[in-house]
Homo-oligomer: A and B are copies of this chain.
Amino acid sequence: MVKPKVEVCFTPNLYPLYNDDFDVVVAIDVLRATSVICTAFHHGVDKIIPVSSLEEATTYLKKGYQVAAERKGKIVDGFNLGNSPFSYMNNNLKGQTLVLTTTNGTKAIHAAKDCKQLLIGSFLNLQILCDYLIEQNKNILLLGSGWQNKFCLEDSICAGAICDELINSNKFQSVNDSSVGARYLYQSAKSNYFGFLKASSHRKRLKNLNLNKDIKYCLTPNQTDVIPYRVNGSLKNLI
């Protein structure tokens, strides 16, 4: 029997080159959108509506929704939530619906709008996500969010971590070099993610915004057992 595939696509703009034959897409934006999504569900948010544009986000804001809007690492003026996972570690949002737009993260989610199943991946839910994926006998695409459609290191390493776990289960195969490269990067990085990413452009940007605490949290694996997935255009927790 032919093993199902697990492949890595580095950025949303490359998705059309990869999207054939994949049953499941895992959207990854480690710094910080998919880490925020996992954190919010872990702390009891009921539903997240991802939107691409600030215009859409503003429409929801006017309707009275809780809306998180981030651009270039900062909360957009007029919105009350941004892209720091620490903003979601409280009971205020428990049971609520949250609307979310970020620079890169929600773009990956929208790029994969036609896929059969969309899941949200990050270091925070790494193991539970891998366990779930290994149970499925399906072709899986790991889709990084990148930075303005350019390759980004932290998403590629997270994708490499998932890919590595799935390949090591002996139940999957990879054929693309992007998957091989992502696994190599993960293997080099895994003993010290924070140090490995020292030279990365995104870490430098966030460091300049005094967000080292956010970065360390987002790079710490297995802090939650949530698996966010898309249903009817919104995100819910699968488990």
Residues of A within 8 A of B (CB): 10, 13-14, 17-18, 147-153, 156, 175-178, 180-181, 184-185, 187-188, 196, 199-202
Contact = CB atoms under 8 A, between A and B. Distances in A.
B184 A201 contact: no
A185 B188 CA distance: 9
Interface of A is mostly: helix
Given A17-B149, A150-B17, A185 B177 contact: no
B150 A14 contact: yes
A187 B201 CA distance: 19
User: Quick one: which of A149, A152, A184, A187 has the most chain B CB within 10 A?
Assistant: A184
A68 to B, nearest CB: 25
Task: Identify the 10 closest CB pairs spanning chains A and B, nearest first.
Answer: A151-B178, A153-B177, A180-B199, A152-B177, A177-B201, A177-B200, A151-B177, A153-B181, A188-B188, A184-B188
Contacts of A18: 150
A185 B181 contact: yes
A188 to B, nearest CB: 6
24 contacts: A10-B151, A13-B14, A14-B149, A17-B148, A17-B149, A17-B150, A18-B150, A150-B177, A150-B178, A151-B176, A151-B178, A153-B177, A153-B180, A153-B181, A156-B177, A156-B181, A177-B201, A177-B202, A180-B200, A180-B201, A181-B181, A181-B185, A184-B196, A185-B185
Nearest to A157: B181
User: Quick one: which of A17, A181, A188, A199 has the most chain B CB within 10 A?
Assistant: A181
A152 B178 CA distance: 7
User: Quick one: which of A13, A148, A177 has the most chain B CB within 10 A?
Assistant: A177
Contacts of A150: 14, 17-18, 176-178
A151 B10 CA distance: 9
Contacts of A199: 180
A175 B200 CA distance: 8
A180 B147 CA distance: 14
Contacts of A196: 184
A14 B148 CA distance: 12
A149 B9 CA distance: 12
Contacts of A201: 175-177, 180
